[in-house]
Amino acid sequence: MSVGEPTTDDVPGQEAGSPADDEPAPASETAQAGEAKEPAADTEPAVVPARKGRRGRRRRKRSLWRELPILIAVALVLAVVIKTYAVQAFFIPSGSMENTLDVNDRVLINKLVYDFRGVHRGDIVVFNGDGTWNPGPLPGSSNFFAEFANGFASMFGFGPAGEIYVKRVIGLPSDHVACCDAQGRVTVNNVPLNEGSYLYPGEVPSQIRFNINVPEGHVWVMGDHRSVSEDSRYHLVSPGGGAIPESSILGRAFVIIWPPSRWRILPIPDTFQKSAFPLTLGFAAAVPLTWLQRRLRRLPCRTRLTLPRMVMNWRTLRVKCSDRPPGTPASRPGGTRA
């Protein structure tokens, strides 16, 4: 072995804690160590998303508390608009409409229906009796903002007081309503009503006699439980002769919503549906007859026969021009006479 070669005994750093461990490493080794430690630096931000998540939840909670009053206000405004202008619920406190409406039933009324059509016979209407059946002024028609204010106040019990009734419409403006015919039935324009489908079982149509022409702008209303219903018959000396103004009608009851066992739609009874059938049939028959008469008038050789004579003697429809009455000038193709 030559003198200059180091032996293993001369190489430092073989034992832990030797002085060689305390010596600074070269710059290249330091850079490599820094690159090796970079993944550890990447693992440090793993704690940061948890902090951000907590901050995000706090922000969402604060935003929820800020938005909650706005949501409540919007819901309240929508409820007032629906209640005032579209649909409203009412409680039935008495038995005047049994068995159609029982005590403690809740019904919904449609406030928009009479903006698109008139009141129909057989409709169940909810109305304000002020100024007619009860003392006080008639409920006047208010503007949009006044109605909204009244609807908003009524939700908290501060709305204008009024006696509200629910009855069935029997007579319309200009109708002649009377009781009773030889069979004890109520008549409308001398047509008797068969009311067995909606009257309280065992009830007679009316024990009170009346004979009235319904004023313009008013309707005649009666309860289905006639013996306990204080309806138009009991207010003959009131303004309108017992009839109520159409302007006092709040809406048409169309469904029972409570209790669930009583849920059902409230249609117009067949008694009033059939009353319009003869008129509808008459119009349906008049259309083809009118069309036929117009076609006959366009025949090349016009006849002076009227429609009844044509029906009685249909063979004379094909009348030749040579069969025209004496002295009648012939017509030229241009439509002018010779």
| Average pLDDT per 10 consecutive residues for the chain, totaling 338 residues | 43 43 47 46 50 64 80 88 90 95 96 94 95 80 68 64 88 96 94 95 95 96 96 94 94 96 95 58 57 62 47 44 48 42
Q: Which pLDDT belongs to residue 279?
A: 45
Residue 173 CB burial class (10 angstroms; 0-12, 13-18, ≥19) = middle
Q: Which pLDDT belongs to residue 307?
A: 46
Of 148, 138, 157, 154, the C-alpha closest to 249 is 138
Query: CA–CA distance from 323 to each of 80, 185, 308, 318, 334 (Å)?
Result: 78, 58, 20, 10, 21
Query: CA–CA distance from 281 to each of 119, 190, 233, 262, 308 (Å)?
Result: 22, 20, 33, 36, 19
Domain boundaries, the chain: 87-275, 278-322
Q: Which CATH superfamily is domain 87-275 in?
A: Umud Fragment, subunit A (2.10.109.10)
Exposed e or buried b per residue across 140-149, where buried means at least 16 C-beta atoms within 10 angstroms of its C-beta: eeeeeeeebe
DSSP notation for 274-338 = HHTHHHHHHHHHHHHHHHHHHHHHTSSS-----HHHHHH-GGGGS--GGGSPTTPPPBPTTS-B-
Q: Which pLDDT belongs to residue 52?
A: 57
Q: Which pLDDT belongs to residue 91?
A: 93
